[in-house]
Amino acid sequence: MATKLFDGKRILVTGGTGSLGKILLRRLLGGEAGDPERIIVFSRDEAKQHFLRVEYESGPAATEEVIYRNFQRKLQFWIGDVRDFDSVASALRNIDIVINAAAMKQVPTCEYFPYEAVRTNIEGAENIVRAIQKHNLKVETVVGVSTDKACKPVNAMGMTKAIQERIFIQGNMRCPGTRFVCTRYGNVLASRGSVIPLFHEQIRNGGPLTITTPDMTRFLLTLDHAVDTVLAAIAGALPGDTYVPRAPASRIADVAAVLIGDRPVRTITTGIRPGEKVHEIMVSDEEAHRTVERGDWYAILPMLPEVCGERTGSGCLKKEYSSNDKVLDLEETRELLARHHLMVEDLPNRRGGELLR
């Protein structure tokens, strides 16, 4: 990755107060790939913005009303909603790079409120493309953050994310001055709403741990690996590419067993939740033939010939890329969780400062 990738760039992160957004901000502000001129967190939750702002302030500024001097700082906060076209268009002015992390991502919630998922995941993406097209904005790159569930979708969340991918990819035709690319990845370790924080909480409460089905497998990525995928796409993706990380996978039952250890905590099987898959798939059979290797990532080439041009797949994948292809055993799962400090022993007890044993 070019070390000066973000020098002088103005970056907008939609949904920037989420788990991914927080790590992304830390990495962008850390200067590993250059020194941005401005980073704007765009979201609709003022409380989350407030607490995130305080995290990045030090000294007397941390106690000030957060709105003061907001627009005089490198890290800025913008209240808005991707569902609202005018809000999006206003925030996109003078922006070089957009990272669209705003999403409705909880599978059961999207099943119960599918049109709400449409409004955020589909209409939000369309608002970004339409604002750039209508106002002739000089945005250089837009990255759509997608999910494995967009691949062979069986639930409302995946279906809306699949359409989001298509909107961004086709955006290369509508806005020829802007490069639209996507990233797609699976379960992120310890992200908000994922299974590991749920297991931690259930163990704290003495159990039981809830397993949907013993056969379920998931790719296991760290938040930093997810951010690596976004940064790699910004650095190297061609218009319409979808970047997919190569990641280890485990049985969720093994994850539970590792976290429980020798504690007297039982597990119960609850059955698959509405719209849930047994295995994650990040590249489908239909996409495999137009997939190429890009360093540590797979890149799915766009389907539209007007976007793809003369590029062709390399045949690096002969079949779909699934979490069931190569599954870590119990000890390998233990090593992975320990390496990333996700064992229960690593977490402070909420009832005191000591480690939970």
Domains of the chain from N-terminus onward:
10-186+222-246+282-321 (3.40.50.720)
Decide if pLDDT at 350 tops 80: no
Predicted confidence band of residue 54 (pLDDT cuts 50, 70, 90): confident
pLDDT digits (tens, 9 = 90+) for 110-121: 999 999 999 999
Structure pTM? 0.90
Summarised one tens digit per residue, pLDDT across range 55-107 is: 887 545 555 555 567 777 899 999 999 999 999 999 999 999 999 999 999 88
Residue 161 among the catalytic residues? no
What would the DSSP string read from start to end of 139-179? Answer: --EEEEEEEGGGSS--SHHHHHHHHHHHHHHHHHHH-TTSE
CB 225 within 8 A of CB 340: no
- Which residues, including other chains, have CB under 8 Å from residue 266's CB and lie 6 or more apart? 207, 208, 209
Q: Could you give the CA distance from residue 43 to residue 148 in angstroms, rounded to a whole number? A: 23
231-263 pLDDT tens trace:
999 999 999 999 999 999 999 999 999 999 999
pLDDT > 50? residue 1: no
pLDDT the model gives residue 71 = 76
- Active site residue: 149, 161, 277, 318, which one? 149
What kind and span of H or E run contains 98? strand 97-100
At 267 the three-state DSSP class reads strand
Mean pLDDT of 23-29: 93
Return mean pLDDT, the chain. 90
Can you give the pLDDT at residue 293? 96
Predicted pLDDT at 272: 86
